[in-house]
């Protein structure tokens, strides 16, 4: 079993290596390898999951990596309930998206590379999920960030994609710095990177008070970046420049959930901070993100951007859930969201595949052309809106119930967000699938309006198959947390012995009513056209402008960070030119002066000596060369004379 | 008395041809004169009871080396050029120096009081020389054999006509 | 009058002087080699004579003489080979004309 657990991240990694090196020569140009590896990982995950469900002890496997001082740095993996759920989500949703990509990326010149990146991503994400220590977590964390960068910029020929990948990387990096600082603080104070030892230290009160809160907030900084929470959410909408399967896998279902997962994994640290300060911050950041992103989603016309803001909003929801002590609720929503948001993204990808545009205002009436896409997306939308009995209903209801009990103001924030969510998702559905077509069918010579000439068509089986599979989950996965079935999910994934807040029928009814109201308003505006959307938009001034300008976050960063950097670089340039260069030049001048001095010395003293020796040798050689007659008999004569002299010398003495 | 007579005769046999060797304009005659000179030296060795050395002297000097020199004279056409000047311009100086050195040597050798030891050599000194070669002087023996080999190969390589 | 060590030494000195004269005055390389042979013979006479009169028990002089004869053979072989090579290349064996190594 332990070996199985190790194999889960290893398989996709091997697939990555294989595809990188052998790419096109592999079956299906590498796609089959990637899908096979991930499906095998999914099977292993299922085995582990059922083992845990059967009441087995969580798996732990560590190796001593290196010894620092007295304490060995133990690294390893663990599979407990939370990990098992995450493993399933990543492998199952991932497999579906891999399969879908076969159709979506068909004919792309870098097709094998795409699957290589996807496999690397899956491996990193699984490592992140399996980690039982901060180091593996951080390694996985950075690796998924790298894959995100690579995949957002997969079509790097497009300047927008290249810019978006950079933006995503740099923005999340800001959060990662906090995250890393948090990890260092833990290591500095405890000398260990293991979660287990850290939790022991927290429980024994060794780590407590302001320090604990500080660590929690620093770690949460990483989650803000990775999970695109306010104020570091700006990268996620731009990340939609990547291929749609990437958006579905990384920027909806898995990687962005890593922040939420991390908070859940380290929930004890957050939970133990005095007065739940850290959790309150988590909850409020989540609430603000949820609300703000939902309002922005309302005014987006790009189908993928609607989804992107929706993702930010839903991630905020999860944070909110965790922050109001709803550990189970947050993780539950993470899981359901992974399924229905992946479904929605893949559906959107299917639409884009057919229409070659992202603009929902140039769509309309697609329901008849692409029924599979329509029906599956409808299921996804209902799940997102939180309508009974779809998946989103159960998890959202749980979060709201927790909020009602632990933090009433956030309950209202959640409720309003729920309304807006239902509204914008239905708006998108109406614009895309219903109403009159705003595109020109190919057989008409000139389209009416600004419609473009396209041939919309249903996507191939390999794409609709995963859609239906995910739609099934989006519809029914919520029942694993259904109260009337005894909330099996809550019993499986829970924090300590904390009893889940009981199901409250009133809240369920209220939240459903609010969601239905949101859908109704959307229908009134975009289906029945009782009111002109433009008039409504005007009526909500200045809020609608704020939403359109995305609450000025991008402008703010443009003014402060970007301009600040540019300004600072200008200042530094001046500093460089006058101070650094000046200093360097000064040194240069001084040395040039010194060198001149040395030159004189060299010329007249050193060279003079050398030349003197040279001349002396030459003159002496000129004289002595006449001794060398080159005739042996002369030399012999001299030798003989020498011998005579020696003998005479000997005789005289 | 007989010994003295033998010595004087042998000394003359050694020295007179040697004078011819160094003065004759005819190189062939000079080379031929080497042989009686070597034989005279051989006689001196016999007189000194060095029979083995004497034998080797005949074999190598009188036989091999003299013949070799004759061959080379022939090969280099040295025998035909009797009209050519055979002495160089330092003949006078060379003669004076050689004479001076001879006188100096004679003076040195004859004035030195040698620690004479009365005694006779071993009767069978061939066996004794062989034993000495293979015991006390084994290293010199081996090295000289090596030098012989090297010079043999070297002479072949040097004298070989280039292809 | 007994024949003594000095008699032999005198003969060898004279022989040596004759060899040296040959070496110093001859132009022909072969003649020079002949002079060298004479000098080597003089040395041999010395060695054997010293062996006889100064250390009759050891035979070291004989051994030296034999080694010198061996080396003389070597020297003659190599020297004459050199003479041949020089003759082939320079068409002369007169040492006063062989001065290509001169500056």
Nearest to C52 among B19, B105, B121 (CB): B121
What angle, rounded to 10 degrees, do the helices at A303-323 and A391-406 form?
A: 40
ipTM for the whole predicted complex goes beyond 0.95:
no
Residue holding tokens 């071993």?
Answer: B122
How deeply is A333 buried, as exposed, middle or buried, from its count of CB atoms within 10 A (0-12, 13-18, 19+)?
buried
| A446 pLDDT more than 60 | no
* Mutation for B interface: A643, A644, A646, A653, most B CBs within 10 A: A644
Over residues A465-472, the mean pLDDT reads 92
Spacing of C-alpha A41 from chain mean position? 21
Closest chain C residue to B95, measured at CA: C21
Q: Is B100 near chain C, with CB under 8 Å?
A: no
pLDDT at residue A594 in the model: 92
Which residues of chain C are within 8 Å of residue A625 when distances are taken between CB atoms? 103
Render pLDDT for A543-566 as a digit per residue (tens, 0 to 9).
888 878 888 888 888 888 888 889
Residue A449 scores a pLDDT above 50: no
Contact assessment for residue A273 and residue A143, using Cβ atoms and an 8 Å cutoff: no
Spatial contact of B43 and B50, defined as CB atoms under 8 Å apart: no
The answer to whether A316 touches A289, Cβ cutoff 8 Å, is yes
What residues of C are in contact with residue B154 (Cβ under 8 Å)? Answer: 78, 81
Return residues 101-140 of B near C (CB < 8 Å).
Answer: 101-102, 105-106, 109-110, 114-117, 119-122, 125, 128-129, 132-133, 136-137, 140
B20 touches chain C (CB under 8 A): no
Residue A448 pLDDT level (bands cut at 50, 70, 90): very low
Q: Is B70 on the interface with C (CB under 8 A)?
A: no
Rounded Cα distance between A231 and A203, Å, is 32
Q: Does C63 touch chain B (CB under 8 A)?
A: yes
Write out pLDDT tens, residues A105-131: 888 888 999 999 999 999 999 999 999
Which residue does chain C place closest to B49, by CA atoms?
C52
Question: What is the pLDDT, as a whole number, of residue B69?
Answer: 86
For residue B94, the chain A residues in CB contact (below 8 A) are 633, 637
What residues of C are in the A interface, CB distance below 8 Å?
20, 23-26, 32, 95-96, 98-103
Instruction: Read off the DSSP letter of residue A408.
Output: H
Is C2 in Cβ contact with B117 (below 8 Å)? no
Best to test chain C binding among A621, A623, A635, A636 (most C CBs inside 10 Å): A636
Q: Are A366 and A374 in contact (CB under 8 A)?
A: yes
A435 within 8 A of A346, measured Cβ to Cβ: no
Contact criterion met (CB below 8 Å) for A355 and A362: yes
Q: Please tell me which residue of chain B has the smallest CA distance to C49.
A: B48
Ranges A30-34, A319-323, A454-458, B151-155: which has the least confidence: A454-458
Separation CA A521–CA A382 (nearest Å): 15
Whether A629 sits inside 8 A of C99 (CB atoms) is: yes
Q: Reduced to 3 states, what is the DSSP secondary structure of residue A501?
A: coil
Q: pLDDT tier at C58 (50, 70, 90 boundaries)?
A: confident
A632 Cα to chain C: minimum distance (Å): 7
- The CA distance from A249 to A239, in Å, is 12
Are C101 and A632 inside 8 Å of each other by CB? no
pLDDT digits (tens, 9 = 90+) for A125-176: 999 999 989 989 999 999 999 999 999 999 989 999 999 999 999 999 999 9
d(Cα A342, Cα A335) in Å, to the nearest integer? 11
Q: Are A363 and A496 in contact (CB under 8 A)?
A: no
Touching B (3+ Cβ pairs <8 A), the chains are A, C
Mean per-residue pLDDT for A595-602?
Answer: 89
pLDDT the model gives residue B78: 60
Helix (H, G, I), strand (E, B) or coil at A536: helix
Distance of alpha carbon A30 from alpha carbon A23, whole angstroms: 6
Higher pLDDT: B122 or A386? It is A386
- For each of the domains in chain C, give its residue range(s) and CATH number, in order of start: 5-90 (1.10.287.3510)
Residues of B in contact with A635 (CB under 8 A): none
B38 compared with A73, residue with greater pLDDT: B38
d(CA A474, CA A375): 12
- Residue A479 predicted with pLDDT over 70: yes
Q: What is the pLDDT of residues A265-276, one digit of tens each?
A: 999 899 888 888
Distances (CA, A) of A535 to A365, A540, A542, B58, C72: 24, 9, 13, 140, 128
Q: Tokens 């060398």 belong to which residue?
A: A628
Domains recognised in chain B with CATH numbers: 2-80+125-162 (1.20.120.1200)
Pick the closest to residue C14 from B106, A559, B59 (CA basis).
B106
Q: Is C99 on the interface with B (CB under 8 A)?
A: no
Per-residue confidence (pLDDT) for residue A447, from 0 to 100: 43
């Amino acid at each position: 079993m332990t070996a199985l657990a190790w194999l889960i991240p290893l398989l996709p990694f091997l697939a990555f290596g294989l595809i990188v090196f052998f790419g096109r020569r592999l079956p299906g140009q590498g796609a089959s390898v990637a899908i096979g590896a991930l499906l095998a990982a999914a099977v292993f995950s299922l085995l582990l999951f059922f083992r845990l469900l059967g009441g087995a002890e969580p798996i732990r496997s560590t190796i001593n990596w290196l010894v620092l001082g007295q304490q060995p740095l133990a690294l390893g993996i663990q599979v407990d309930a939370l990990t098992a759920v995450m493993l399933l989500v990543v492998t199952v949703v991932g497999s579906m998206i891999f399969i879908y990509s076969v159709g979506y990326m068909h004919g792309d010149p870098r097709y094998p590379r795409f699957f290589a990146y996807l496999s690397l991503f899956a491996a990193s994400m699984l490592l992140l999920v399996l980690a039982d220590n901060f180091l593996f977590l951080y390694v996985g964390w950075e690796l998924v960030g790298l894959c995100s960068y690579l995949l957002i910029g997969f079509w790097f020929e497009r300047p927008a994609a290249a810019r978006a990948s950079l933006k995503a990387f740099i923005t999340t990096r800001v959060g990662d710095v906090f995250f890393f600082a948090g990890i260092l603080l833990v290591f500095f104070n405890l000398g260990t990177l293991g979660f287990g030892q850290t939790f022991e230290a927290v429980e024994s009160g060794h780590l407590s008070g302001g320090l604990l809160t500080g660590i929690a907030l620093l770690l949460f900084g990483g989650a803000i970046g990775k999970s695109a929470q306010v104020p570091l959410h700006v990268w996620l909408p731009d990340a939609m420049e990547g291929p749609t399967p990437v958006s579905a896998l990384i920027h909806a279902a898995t990687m962005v959930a890593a922040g939420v997962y991390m908070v859940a994994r380290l929930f004890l640290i957050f939970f133990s901070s005095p007065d739940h300060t850290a959790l309150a911050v988590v909850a409020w950041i989540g609430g603000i993100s949820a609300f703000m992103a939902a309002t922005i989603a309302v005014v987006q016309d790009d189908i993928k951007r609607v989804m992107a803001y929706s993702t930010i909003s839903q991630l905020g929801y999860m944070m909110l859930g965790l922050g109001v002590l709803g550990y189970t609720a947050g993780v539950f929503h993470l899981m359901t969201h992974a399924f229905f948001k992946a479904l929605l993204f893949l559906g959107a990808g299917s639409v884009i595949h057919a229409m070659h545009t992202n603009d929902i205002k140039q769509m309309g009436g697609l329901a008849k052309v692409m029924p599979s896409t329509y029906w599956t997306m409808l299921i996804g939308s209902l799940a997102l809106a939180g309508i009974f009995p779809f998946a989103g209903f159960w998890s959202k209801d749980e979060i709201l119930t927790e909020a009602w009990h632990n933090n009433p103001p956030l309950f209202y924030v959640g409720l309003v967000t729920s309304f807006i969510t239902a509204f914008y998702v239905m708006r998108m559905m109406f614009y895309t699938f219903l109403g009159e077509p705003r595109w020109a069918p190919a057989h008409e010579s000139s389209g009416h309006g600004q419609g473009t000439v396209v041939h919309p068509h249903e996507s191939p089986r390999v794409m609709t198959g995963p859609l239906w599979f995910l739609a099934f989950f989006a519809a029914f996965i919520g029942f694993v947390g259904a109260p009337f079935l005894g909330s099996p999910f809550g019993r499986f994934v829970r924090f300590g012995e904390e009893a889940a807040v009981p199901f409250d029928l009133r809240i369920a009814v209220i939240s459903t009513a609010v969601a239905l109201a949101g859908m109704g308003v959307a229908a009134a505006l975009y289906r029945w056209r009782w009111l002109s959307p433009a008039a409504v938009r005007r009526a909500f001034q200045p809020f609608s402008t704020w939403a359109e300008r995305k609450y000025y976050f991008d402008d703010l960063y443009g003014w402060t960070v970007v301009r600040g950097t540019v300004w600072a670089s200008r200042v530094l340039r001046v500093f460089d030119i006058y101070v650094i260069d000046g200093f360097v030049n000064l040194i240069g001048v001084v040395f040039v002066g010194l060198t001149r001095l040395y030159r004189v010395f060299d010329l007249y003293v050193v060279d003079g000596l050398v030349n003197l020796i040279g001349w002396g040798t030459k003159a002496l050689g000129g004289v002595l060369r006449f001794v060398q007659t080159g005739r042996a008999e002369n030399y012999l004569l001299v030798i003989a004379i020498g011998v005579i002299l020696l003998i005479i010398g000997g005789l005289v003495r | 008395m007989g010994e003295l007579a033998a010595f004087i005769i042998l000394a003359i046999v050694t020295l007179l041809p040697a004078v011819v060797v160094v003065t004759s304009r005819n190189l062939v005659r000079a080379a031929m004169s080497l042989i009686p000179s070597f034989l005279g030296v051989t006689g001196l060795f016999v007189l000194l009871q060095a029979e083995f050395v004497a034998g080797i002297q005949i074999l190598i000097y009188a036989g091999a080396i003299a013949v070799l020199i004759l061959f080379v004279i022939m090969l280099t056409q040295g025998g035909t050029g009797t009209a050519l000047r055979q002495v160089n311009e330092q003949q006078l100086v060379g003669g004076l120096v050689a004479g001076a050195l001879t006188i100096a040597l004679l003076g040195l050798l004859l004035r030195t009081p040698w620690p004479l030891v009365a005694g006779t050599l071993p009767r069978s000194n061939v066996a004794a020389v062989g034993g000495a070669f293979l015991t006390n002087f084994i290293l010199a023996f081996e090295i000289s054999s090596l030098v012989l080999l090297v010079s043999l190969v070297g002479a072949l390589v040097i004298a070989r006509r280039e292809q | 009058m007994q024949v003594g060590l000095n008699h032999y030494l005198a003969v060898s000195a004279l022989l040596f002087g004759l060899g040296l004269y040959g070496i110093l005055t001859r132009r022909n390389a072969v003649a020079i080699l002949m002079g060298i042979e004479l000098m080597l013979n003089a040395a041999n006479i010395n060695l054997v004579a010293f062996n006889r009169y100064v250390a009759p028990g050891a035979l070291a002089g004989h051994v030296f003489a034999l080694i010198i004869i061996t080396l003389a053979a070597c020297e003659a072989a190599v020297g004459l080979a050199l003479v041949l090579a020089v003759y082939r290349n320079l068409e002369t064996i007169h040492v006063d004309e062989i001065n290509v190594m001169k500056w």
